[in-house]
Amino acid sequence: MLRYQVCHKKFEGGWSVPFTRELFATLSAVALLLYDPLRDQVVLIEQFRIGALEHAETPWIIENVAGLLMPGESPIDAVKREAIEESGCEVLDIEPIYEYLASPGNSNEYLYLYCGWVDATAANGIHGLTEEHEDIRVLTITTKEAFAMLQQGKIKTAHTMLALLWLQLNQERLKAKWQKK
């Protein structure tokens, strides 16, 4: 946590009075929706999330593969690493979705969001790094089931919501692109 004393230019002209803001400083992050266009399936993961203890019916959250971007690592390398660590899937191709500030009111976290082509038959089991205390279950479901979960409010993370909504808009284009390879 960092505490800043700041002032800024105002829209109406002039400067604001000095005020205090706290910032949770963190590394940038990556998230990847794993999609198999040949089987029309997505691979999601389920894991314990401390931030969900007070705001969800369960702290076990269904979401995309995601993780922190290590210093000197490219976002593409990071999502490929996370895909293997958290799902056992090798990414065959990647499509950028969005880059955004996750919660700019109190954090500097910048998130790189992608969709990755995978073979969903390779996704199963329990994954994660022991040293990070990860216990990650892989879920392979049809896109229709994933879109229904989104509509039912079962998806609780913004990066997963955004990726699934994006996939609804881009699914046919991705199928055509990746089925040709």
In sequence order, what are the beta bridge partners of 94?
Answer: 116
* Residue-level pLDDT at 131: 72
* Residue-level pLDDT at 62: 93
Instruction: Render pLDDT for 14-60 as a digit per residue (tens, 0 to 9).
Output: 999 999 999 989 999 999 999 999 999 999 999 888 777 787 688 88
Mean per-residue pLDDT for 62-84? Answer: 95
H/E run at residue 48: strand 41-48
Catalytic residue among 99, 132, 134, 172: 132
Alpha carbon 46 to chain centroid distance? Answer: 12
> Tokens at residue 138, please?
């892989």
Instruction: Render pLDDT for 74-97 as a digit per residue (tens, 0 to 9).
Output: 999 999 999 999 999 999 999 999
Long-range contacts of residues 76-81, Cβ cutoff 8 Å, at least 24 apart: 76/114, 78/30, 78/112, 79/30, 79/31, 79/32, 79/112, 79/114, 79/116, 80/116
Instruction: Render pLDDT for 125-149 as a digit per residue (tens, 0 to 9).
Output: 766 666 766 667 899 999 999 999 9
* Residue-level pLDDT at 69: 94
Cβ-based neighbours of 91, under 8 Å, separated by 6 or more: 32, 34, 79, 80, 83, 116, 117, 118
Residue 68 has pLDDT above 90, yes or no: yes
* Residue-level pLDDT at 59: 86
* Residue-level pLDDT at 128: 64
pTM exceeding 0.75: yes
* Residue-level pLDDT at 47: 87
For residue 93, the one-letter residue type is: D
Greater pLDDT, 6 or 51: 6
For residue 21, the one-letter residue type is: R
Residue 115 contacts residue 162 (beta carbons within 8 Å) = no
| Residues 25, 140: Cα–Cα separation, whole Å | 34
Mean per-residue pLDDT for 142-160? Answer: 96
| Residues 64, 178: Cα–Cα separation, whole Å | 20
CATH code of the region 27-179: 3.90.79.10
| Residue of 50, 20, 136, 158 lying closest to 85 (CA atoms) | 136
* Residue 132 known to be catalytic: yes
Task: Determine how β-strand 29-36 pairs with β-strand 110-117.
Answer: parallel
* Residue-level pLDDT at 126: 63
Mean per-residue pLDDT for 143-165? Answer: 96
